[in-house]
Amino acid sequence: MSAKDNEPATKGDIAHLDVKIDGLETKIHGLETKIDGLETKTDGLETKIDRLEVKTDRLEVKTDKIWNEVVNTWTRMDRMEERLVARMDAGFDRVTQVLDSFAAKMESYARETVIIPKTLDAHGEQLRDHERRIAAVESSRDG
């Protein structure tokens, strides 16, 4: 330690320290003001975050409701599709039966169109033969 460090403080030294302390106090007060402003801003942010959380929760509830509706709609659509396919299958079966029946009738008509002319020709020939015999019988009776 030097001899100067052991000397008593003068009024000027004390006044100089008082000025420095006042400056520090002013700076501390400024920092406290800034900290208070930051705390206010932080509180505002917390409030906004709380409101966002509430909105997010509401959106989640709405999203869940929408998702449930989508699932219900898909389920109903699947059931409708199954019923429609069953009805279409039944309709196709009915159409197939009608077509098979129609085809069978057409085959029968086709056979008849082949057989009937031959039968008619045979009957016609038989009638002509009968007419000749009847004419022969009648001419033998008359003569």
Give per-residue pLDDT as tens, 34-54: 999 999 999 999 999 999 999
Residue type, 71: V
pLDDT class of 9 with cuts at 50, 70, 90: confident
Per-residue confidence (pLDDT) for residue 114, from 0 to 100: 84
Q: Is there a domain that residue 45 lies in?
A: yes
Q: How far apart are CA 20 and CA 14, in angstroms?
A: 10
Per-residue confidence (pLDDT) for residue 53, from 0 to 100: 96
Q: Is there a domain that residue 84 lies in?
A: yes
Q: Is there a domain that residue 3 lies in?
A: no
Name the CA dihedral angle for 35, 36, 38, 41, rounded to a multiple of 10 degrees.
Answer: 180
Nearest to 58 by CA among 66, 47, 46, 68: 66
- Domain extent at residue 19: 11-142
Per-residue confidence (pLDDT) for residue 116, from 0 to 100: 86
Q: Is there a domain that residue 114 lies in?
A: yes
Per-residue confidence (pLDDT) for residue 115, from 0 to 100: 87
pLDDT beyond 90 at 119: no
- Percentage of the chain beyond pLDDT 90 is 63
Q: The tokens 């989508």 sit on which residue?
A: 70
pLDDT beyond 60 at 1: no
Q: How far apart are CA 22 and CA 12, in angstroms?
A: 15
Residues whose CB falls within 8 Å of the CB of residue 9, separated by 6 or more in sequence, listed in order: 17
Per-residue confidence (pLDDT) for residue 110, from 0 to 100: 87
Q: Is there a domain that residue 5 lies in?
A: no
Q: Is there a domain that residue 73 lies in?
A: yes
Domain count across the chain: 1
Q: Is there a domain that residue 6 lies in?
A: no
Q: Is there a domain that residue 106 lies in?
A: yes
pLDDT beyond 80 at 143: no
Instruction: Return the DSSP state at 9.
Output: P
pLDDT in tens, 100-118: 999 999 999 888 888 888 8
